[in-house]
């Protein structure tokens, strides 16, 4: 049973990138249809409670100790070298480890749900303990089966991870439409629907992967402690980066609402979400490249790496033009879109354009370095950025009186501090190895 990644050529890679990119607007459209129906079904108060529950519980997805990303690089390396026995052991070990972690989270979460006072936490008289337990249960189940995405990335089928999301959204859309015909306002029904839709989507794709690639079907008897160590050697570093980046990019809203009140959050998040469309499309496009860089690294195909990075750098030119158009026309377009005029702090809109340019630029080189496993520098820079972001945000936003623009400027400074060294590291690595 040979699997030669040399056959994963430019055409197949390009097709995967195109399909991943095309799936993004489809997903956005489904979300656009789903949200107002959900809002109408739950009502403003229950919708806010549900969004808060989802935000809190989804944090568990970041606590896999880096097993998912560590497995991604290791599994891709095994497959490209036709080491299918080792691949099966690695997959089995990862599933066992995540199952144990999920079981531990479920116990801790269940105890916490029993002990907490939901009325005070959510400022609601709604009985939420059963909702929280069901949501947490499904999150733990989906936590395990989400490894199917890692397997798809390793097989260079990144577009299928988008298919999982779209299938989940379709089930949710049919479900919420059906629920809206029979009643209103049940958070419990929504928690069951949301958990079930994700679980069934993951299970369907997992079964399909295991049917076609027997060596990717987990066997709990094949668990090996030394294989877990191999996965976690790189995985733990990925985990720390993941948490640091989460803190860096998730803290702005909390800082803004604390310093300037909830009214300041709306224009900020509106601008953030609108410009974020460009980043979402670009992120979907380059998603297949992480594992492809791993293949090139194993094959020592430095010429392909260099050519691909050059192409990605050239793609920054049209992205700059799109972001510039966004800066020039966002304010009048926002009036048409929202049917109301928002007050944007001075400099916020152009600063948001710069922010997303830096994010896209950084994603090019972090994807490359993640793929080849050179992430030590990225780890230090991510932790440093997470540590200085909040003090800088308070300084620029409050003491320099730049408000939300200052908060965003602090994040931009952290991104520049990270992007420049990572770009230099990637260029030097390719220059050194290409010459050899």
Spatial CB neighbours of 42, under 8 Å, sequence gap ≥ 6: 50, 184, 185, 187, 190
Structure token digits, residue 418: 């990270």
Angle formed at CA 101 by CA 53 and CA 212, multiple of 5 degrees: 100
The percent of residues in the chain predicted with pLDDT above 70, rounded, is 91
Band of pLDDT at residue 4, cut at 50, 70 and 90: very low
pLDDT above 80: residue 258: no
Give mean pLDDT, residues 21-44.
Answer: 81
pLDDT range class, residue 366, cuts 50, 70, 90 = very high
Assess contact for 224 and 89: CB atoms under 8 A: yes
Residue 5 is predicted with a pLDDT of 45
Tokens, residue 102: 């999920």
Comparing 7-11, 227-231, 404-408, 431-435, which segment has the lowest mean pLDDT? 7-11
**Whether pLDDT at 299 is above 90:** no
* Tokens describing residue 405: 């623009």
Work out the average pLDDT over 200-211.
93
Q: What is the mean pLDDT of residues 59-65?
A: 69
- What is the DSSP annotation of 347-400? THHHHHHHHHHHHHHHHHHHHHHHHHT--HHHHHHHHHHHHHHHHHHHIIIIIS
341 DSSP assignment = P
Q: What is the per-residue pLDDT across 165-200, written as a single tens digit (0 to 9) for each?
A: 999 999 999 999 888 888 777 888 999 999 999 999
Torsional sign, CA 152, 158, 159, 162: positive
Question: Residue 14: how many CB atoms within 10 A of its CB?
Answer: 11
Specify the pLDDT at position 3: 45
């Amino acid at each position: 049973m040979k699997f030669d990644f040399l056959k994963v050529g430019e055409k197949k890679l390009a097709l995967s990138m195109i399909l991943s990119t095309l799936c993004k607007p489809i997903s956005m459209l489904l979300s656009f249809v789903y949200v107002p129906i959900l809002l109408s079904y739950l009502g403003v108060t229950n919708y806010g409670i549900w969004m808060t529950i989802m935000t809190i519980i989804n944090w568990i997805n970041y606590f896999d100790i880096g097993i998912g990303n560590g497995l991604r690089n290791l599994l891709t390396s095994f497959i490209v070298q036709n080491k299918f026995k080792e691949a099966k052991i690695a997959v089995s070990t990862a599933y066992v480890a995540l199952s144990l972690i999920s079981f531990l989270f479920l116990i801790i979460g269940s105890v916490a749900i029993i002990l907490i006072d939901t009325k005070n936490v959510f400022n609601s008289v709604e009985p939420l303990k059963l909702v929280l337990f069901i949501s947490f249960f499904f999150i733990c189940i989906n936590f395990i089966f989400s490894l199917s995405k890692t397997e798809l990335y390793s097989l260079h089928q990144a577009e299928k991870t988008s298919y999982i999301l779209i299938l989940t959204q379709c089930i949710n859309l049919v479900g919420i439409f059906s629920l809206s015909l029979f009643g209103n306002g049940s958070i419990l029904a929504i928690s069951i629907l949301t958990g079930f839709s994700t679980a069934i989507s993951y299970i369907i794709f997992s079964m399909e992967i295991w049917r076609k690639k027997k060596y990717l079907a987990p066997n709990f008897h094949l668990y090996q402690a030394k294989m877990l160590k191999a996965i976690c050697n790189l995985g733990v570093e990925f985990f720390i980066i993941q948490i640091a980046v989460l803190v860096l990019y998730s803290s702005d809203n909390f800082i803004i609402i604390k310093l300037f009140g909830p009214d300041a959050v709306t224009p900020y998040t509106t601008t953030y979400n609108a410009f974020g469309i460009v980043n979402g499309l670009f992120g979907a496009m380059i998603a297949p490249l992480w594992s492809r860089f791993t293949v090139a690294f194993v094959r020592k195909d430095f010429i392909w790496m260099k050519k691909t990075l050059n192409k990605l750098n050239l793609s920054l030119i049209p992205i700059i033009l799109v972001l510039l158009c966004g800066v020039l026309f966002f304010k009048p377009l926002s009036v048409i879109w929202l049917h109301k005029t928002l007050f944007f702090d001075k400099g916020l809109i152009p600063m948001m354009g710069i922010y997303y340019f830096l994010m896209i630029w950084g994603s090019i080189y972090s994807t490359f370095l993640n793929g080849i496993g050179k992430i030590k520098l990225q780890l230090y820079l991510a932790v440093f950025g997470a540590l200085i972001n909040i003090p800088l945000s308070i300084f620029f936003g409050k003491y320099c009186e730049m408000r939300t623009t200052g908060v965003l400027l602090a994040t931009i400074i952290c991104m520049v501090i990270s992007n420049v060294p990572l770009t230099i590291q990637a260029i030097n690595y390719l220059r050194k190895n290409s010459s050899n």
